[in-house]
Amino acid sequence: MAASKTLGERLREHGVSRRGFLKFCAATASMMALPPSMAPAIAAALEKARRPSVIWLSFQECTGCTESLTRSFSPTVEDLILDVISLDYHHTLQAAAGHQAEAAREQAMKENHGEYLLIVDGSLPGPDANPGYSTIAGISNYQMLKEAVAGAKAVVAVGTCAAFGGLPAAAPNPSGAVSVMDIVKDKPVINVSGCPPVPMVITGVLAQYLVFGKLPELDEYHRPLAFFGQSIHDRCYRRPFYDKGLFAESFDDEGARKGWCLYRLGCKGPSTYNACATMRWNSGTSWPVESGHPCLGCSEPKFWDAGGFYAPLSAPLGSPGNTLLAAGIAGAVVGGAAAAMARKRAAKAETERQPVKIDELEQKL
Amino acid sequence: MSGLNGIGLVVEDHPSQPIEWDNALPILHEIRHGLHRLSGGGEPTLIDLHALPFGPGDEERLLELLGRGEVEADIDALGPTRVWETAFPGVWLVDHRNAQGERLALHIEIASVPEILRSQSEDIADALTRLDACIAAGAGAPNPPPTNA
């Protein structure tokens, strides 16, 4: 349950010295995408911060969001953030199961009514859908969410499924999946989208709540501007190549080897807002574009249904049967000439492709 | 898959020439502005390299350009932190790592002395109390430093 000790006291209990605390605040500022000069202000606020109760509900999800958070490779800061919140219910992580787990959730909701932070990952069958598609302890996701939201101070939707419906809501959406903000209208909702979200963004949002005791500034999709305020394209280290008109045309051509812009290989960076380009993945080791793969746009609404992952943004949307109509739509945005060029490049790549059949490969082995 | 060795593969050990992303040089201009403020009015500047869109090798290129100066210090607080002055006095690198040696943050601090090296005012007050207690005790070994101070 939420304890009365301040965060500063708890960190000292962990053996964190004042210099260590200053370092923790510097890392937290970096994680929160705040200027490092904010570290003293963060230190002052964290000294007084109380340990909030957090209830984490998982609905139609793959557990990738929880994996992203708990498998992050910078355990000191993330663990400390997790240590200083009171995670009262998370059915993947908690030891309790069955009715005991549900009792813990109900107790935490009762004791911290109006104060707890509700985190949700996964979409849920909407109010008009068959609730049997996803239940926990015999309770429909919809009912559990409504009950938990009633006493929550705010709701954090973690991952694209919770934020926008994600994969379960992709066409033809068999379970009638909806996002959290489709249901929750009377409480603040913060969307931390991504498939999965960058772990430091999840903890950054929690840290911001701990530090300032209020919710961050959000964009039109309810995402925190500190992390989703700039496009992947604008923060991409390959951007200078885009500006020079230097593009990789296939995954193994000279442009790809020289690290040129991946726009023509379907990079969704120009229309995607996320922090991958600066925070990176696996303890800051790399991120998709640095590995030579276009951004899929996983933090944007309906990214599963937004055309092919490898179709350039300027290419027509939809199936060939819809090409004329879709080309008109795309053309209105980026110009029909660009769409025509993309088709021409695709046709050229098709004619030049030299497929290797499995029989031929076997003969070589 | 016993015949993999039969496939003619050529592995290039190194690219023919390193790729220049040109993302390091603009930081030198930002550092110059910071150094100008420090020199003029004593105003320090912090640059978070973690927040910059560097390509592979950009960071190494920047550190190479900045070089090494006369001072280097190691701090053991919440994992190791290494601080060193660059070849440009007043421009410091502060490399925060966790206990596993993974980087938490990498800052360029433009100041006379990096903040993390200074004794914290609360610690100085605690030190005074402890020293008073030591003197009052008359003699003997000084109290050990508090682990959680």
Model ipTM value: 0.72
pLDDT digits (tens, 9 = 90+) for A141-154: 999 999 999 999 99
In a domain, A360, yes or no: no
- Whether pTM > 0.90 for this model: the answer is no
**For B76, which residue in chain A has the nearest alpha carbon?**
A20
* The pairing of beta strand A152-158 with beta strand B72-76: unpaired
- Minimal CA separation from A226 to chain B, in Å: 11
Phi first, then psi: what are they for A121, rounded to 5°?
-120, 140
Radius of gyration (C-alpha) of chain A in whole angstroms: 23
The answer on A201 and A68 residing in a single domain is yes
Higher pLDDT, A334 or B145: B145
Looking at every residue in chain A, the average pLDDT score rounds to: 80
- Minimal CA separation from A277 to chain B, in Å: 6
Provide mean pLDDT across the span A271-290: 89
| pLDDT class of A321 with cuts at 50, 70, 90 | very low
The answer on A140 and A278 residing in a single domain is no
pLDDT digits (tens, 9 = 90+) for A183-204: 999 999 999 999 999 887 887 7
The answer on A258 and A200 residing in a single domain is no
In a domain, A60, yes or no: yes
- Minimal CA separation from B3 to chain A, in Å: 4
Instruction: Please determine, for residue A322, whether its predicted confidence score (pLDDT) is greater than 50.
Output: no
Provide mean pLDDT across the span A280-290: 86
pLDDT cut 90: percent of chain A above it? 45
Instruction: Please determine, for residue B12, whether its predicted confidence score (pLDDT) is greater than 70.
Output: no
**Residue A82: per-residue pLDDT:** 62
Token pair in block for residue B62: 């920047």
Interface A-B: count of C-beta contacts within 8 A = 117
**Residue A316: per-residue pLDDT:** 52
Chain position carrying tokens 């959000």: A218
Is the CB of residue A76 less than 8 Å away from at least one CB of chain B?
A: yes
Q: Which of residues 24-53 of B touch A (CB under 8 A)?
A: 46-48, 50-53
Q: How far apart are CA A83 and CA A81, in angstroms?
A: 5
In a domain, A362, yes or no: no
**Residue B147: per-residue pLDDT:** 55
pLDDT digits (tens, 9 = 90+) for A236-247: 999 989 999 999
In a domain, A327, yes or no: yes
**Tally of domains within chain A:** 2
Higher pLDDT, A281 or A74: A281
| pLDDT class of A313 with cuts at 50, 70, 90 | confident
The answer on A101 and A80 residing in a single domain is yes
pLDDT digits (tens, 9 = 90+) for A59-94: 999 999 888 877 654 444 556 566 667 777 887 777
**Residue A324: per-residue pLDDT:** 33
In a domain, A283, yes or no: yes
In a domain, A263, yes or no: yes
The answer on A220 and A94 residing in a single domain is yes
Domain termination site, one of A176, A207, A228? A228
Residues 6+ apart with CB under 8 A from B103: A74, A283, A284, B95, B96, B97
Question: Which CATH number do you get for residue A84?
Answer: 3.40.50.700
Question: Which CATH number do you get for residue A284?
Answer: 4.10.480.10
**Residue B18: per-residue pLDDT:** 63
Closest CA to A37 of B17, B89, B107, B18: B107
Q: How far apart are CA A320 and CA A306, in angstroms?
A: 15
Domain termination site, one of A180, A198, A228? A228
The answer on A215 and A155 residing in a single domain is yes
Provide mean pLDDT across the span A11-40: 74
Is the CB of residue A26 less than 8 Å away from at least one CB of chain B?
A: yes
The answer on A190 and A63 residing in a single domain is yes
The answer on A339 and A317 residing in a single domain is yes
Secondary structure class of B38 (helix, strand, coil): helix
* The pairing of beta strand A53-58 with beta strand A86-90: parallel
Domain termination site, one of A195, A228, A261? A228
The answer on A209 and A319 residing in a single domain is no
Is the CB of residue A345 less than 8 Å away from at least one CB of chain B?
A: no
- Minimal CA separation from A286 to chain B, in Å: 9
Is the CB of residue A19 less than 8 Å away from at least one CB of chain B?
A: yes
Domains of chain B: 25-115 (3.30.1370.140), 119-149 (no CATH)
Q: Do A284 and B103 touch (CB under 8 A)?
A: yes
Domain extent, residue A173, equals: 7-228
The answer on A194 and A252 residing in a single domain is no
The answer on A253 and A137 residing in a single domain is no
**Exposure string for A71-106, b = 16+ CB within 10 A, e = fewer:** ebebbbbbebbbebbbbbbbbeeeeeeeeebbebbe
The answer on A115 and A30 residing in a single domain is yes
